[in-house]
Amino acid sequence: MRPTPRPSDFAAECRTAVAAAEAAGALLRARFPDGFAARPKGALGDVVTDLDLLAETMVVDRIRADYPHDRVLAEESGDSGGEGGPGRGRTWLVDPLDGSNNVVIGLPVYVVGIALCVEGAPVVGVVHDPVTGRTWSARRGAGARGPAGPLAPAPRPPSPAGPLLAWTQGHAVRRDDPAVRVLRHALELRSRRLLQLWAPLVAWAMLARGDIDGFVGYRAEAIDLPAGALLAREAGVVLRGLDGAEFTAGFTGPDTDRSFVAGRPEILPALLDLVSAATPRPAGPPHSRTTPRTTS
């Protein structure tokens, strides 16, 4: 059995990710909101800008310079090669501009996200906000950090108006998907606010800081899930699947394995109850919420 890597094993990788994200952020900040061109990406309403491409090249080149044998998967260019090094199974995930749709309409809600996964599980996660210049980072087992030091939001009593939640769904999810409509409507009815930011990594950073109470994702995108989930988990957030089982924020496998409920520990039971009541159950024998399931 491969030994579990120690947190200190990834200090250098975290420094590389922070430096790359902040360099890309400086580029994005200098060109926002007017210095770029945009074009449609796919048939589902997504967009890509030349800022995505420039920032991605900058990040990938930095990772390649420090870790030439590692595999790199980037949002726009895909797999740039590498096999994770001999026997190491290391893959970097790069989202150079999470929030491209916001950028195109002049909304300053976007971040740079980078993760390193070993054997499919995130061990380093970095989120950088070019607008404010703030960076949040995490290493597995070593906690999460922000500009002011360790992230450890204090528990707070539930609001009588309901929790403050964020929502995300993958690009492949149809707008008329009945499961999405039921689940999102239930969350909107029972929460104080349900934020839909078009930038999941922004929501993950907010959750890790304690600005919001919970985050629900339905068939989330693979490229940004590991960085955000690791940041939140290392800050004390609890992650579960929609069925309440343990959730591993990996990037492989079908998107049906990337639906999640994440929340502050004091509100997670109520949030799981709400999600459970609004989630259709597959046919078959009943199972306990605590039954582990495998996610990729």
Rounded distance between C-alpha atoms, residue 194 and residue 198, angstroms: 13
Q: Which uninterrupted H or E stretch holds 215? A: strand 214-218
Together in a domain, 226 and 255: yes
Read off the pTM.
0.88
Give the mean pLDDT of the chain. 88
Together in a domain, 143 and 201: no
Together in a domain, 110 and 245: no
Together in a domain, 130 and 170: no
How many structural domains are present in the chain? Answer: 2
Average pLDDT over residues 17-46: 84
Together in a domain, 186 and 261: yes
pLDDT at 71: 95
Average pLDDT over residues 27-49: 78
Together in a domain, 229 and 268: yes
Q: What is the pLDDT of residues 1-16, one digit of tens each?
A: 445 555 558 999 999 9
Rounded distance between C-alpha atoms, residue 114 and residue 94, angstroms: 5
Residue 168 lies in a domain: yes
Look up the domain containing 137 and give its range: 7-150
Together in a domain, 179 and 123: no
Q: What is the pLDDT of residues 103-125, one digit of tens each?
A: 989 999 999 999 999 999 999 99
Q: What is the pLDDT of residues 129-149, one digit of tens each?
A: 999 999 999 999 999 999 999
Together in a domain, 194 and 267: yes
The CATH number assigned to the domain holding 214 equals: 3.40.190.80
Average pLDDT over residues 85-98: 84
Rounded distance between C-alpha atoms, residue 223 and residue 249, angstroms: 11
The CATH number assigned to the domain holding 98 equals: 3.30.540.10
Together in a domain, 229 and 114: no
Residue 286 lies in a domain: no
pLDDT at 293: 35
Return the sign of the alpha-carbon dihedral for residues 195, 196, 197, 202: positive
Residue type, 173: V
- Whether residue 254 is preceded by a cis peptide bond, meaning omega within 30 degrees of 0, is no
Rounded distance between C-alpha atoms, residue 69 and residue 78, angstroms: 16
Rounded distance between C-alpha atoms, residue 33 and residue 14, angstroms: 29
